[in-house]
Amino acid sequence: MEKDLSNYRKSYEKGELLLNNVPENPLELFRNWFVEVDTHFNVDEANAMTISTIGLDGFPKSRVVLLKKYTHEGFIFYTNYKSEKGKAIDANPNVCLSFFWHSAERQVIIKGKAEKIAENLSDGYFESRPRGSQLGAIVSNQSEVIVDRKELEDKLILLEEKYKGKTIERPKYWGGYIVKPIEIEFWQGRPNRLHDRIRYQLQKDYNWKIERLSP
């Protein structure tokens, strides 16, 4: 079975990205772009991002997770520390995040190092989650092989009874990572495939080197 996709064409014409109008700090540009996309473009879950890690088998692996906070230090998401991605990050904290906002014709690609956030911050976020999501974090031994879905559903029923009327504490194997960027590239689609690409690279003095890349 095969399908030729060579005739799929789209002209990108919704914006521009020029060196003379970008801020010195890429986190400021990310904030501006995120607010614009979330406010003015019809994007479901603008905080959905792809995280790529190097697995214990030596292969890269990408999956979509949800960005839960961005700060002047970096990008925060939550997961099971014992999951495949958690084990990969423990072995090699170098990761890549990417956002693709199709309706805005924009991409952001972030290289950085992931590290666990403080436990009290993970506690605070866990407490803010819906009760079902809290229980889900306990039910799932993320990335482990299971027999069928019923195994999860039966475990959830038991936990609902166990924690009925009780506070659900965050399991120690579940929490947040912050990805502290060393390089961020912003991509704006342009006509004739002459896209705008601006790259920020963190220097030893903690200033950012800004360059335009050929598309």
* Per-residue pLDDT reduced to its tens digit, 21-46: 999 999 999 999 999 999 999 999 99
pLDDT given for residue 172 in this prediction: 96
For residue 151, tell me if it sits in a domain: no
pLDDT given for residue 46 in this prediction: 97
Here the CATH number for the domain that contains residue 62 is 2.30.110.10
For residue 146, tell me if it sits in a domain: no
Beta bridge partners of 196: 188
Q: Is 149 a catalytic residue?
A: no
% of the chain surpassing 90 pLDDT: 89
- Domain extent at residue 61: 19-124+176-213
For residue 39, tell me if it sits in a domain: yes
For residue 155, tell me if it sits in a domain: no
Q: Are strands 48-54 and 60-66 parallel, antiparallel or unpaired?
A: antiparallel
Q: Provide the number of structural domains found in the chain.
A: 1
DSSP state for residue 47 in the 8-state scheme: T
| Catalytic hit among 129, 170, 193, 197 | 193
For residue 196, tell me if it sits in a domain: yes
For residue 46, tell me if it sits in a domain: yes
d(Cα 215, Cα 212) in Å, to the nearest integer? Answer: 9
Contact 164, 156 (CB under 8 A): no
CA 116 from centre of chain: 14
Low-confidence ranges of the chain (pLDDT < 50): none
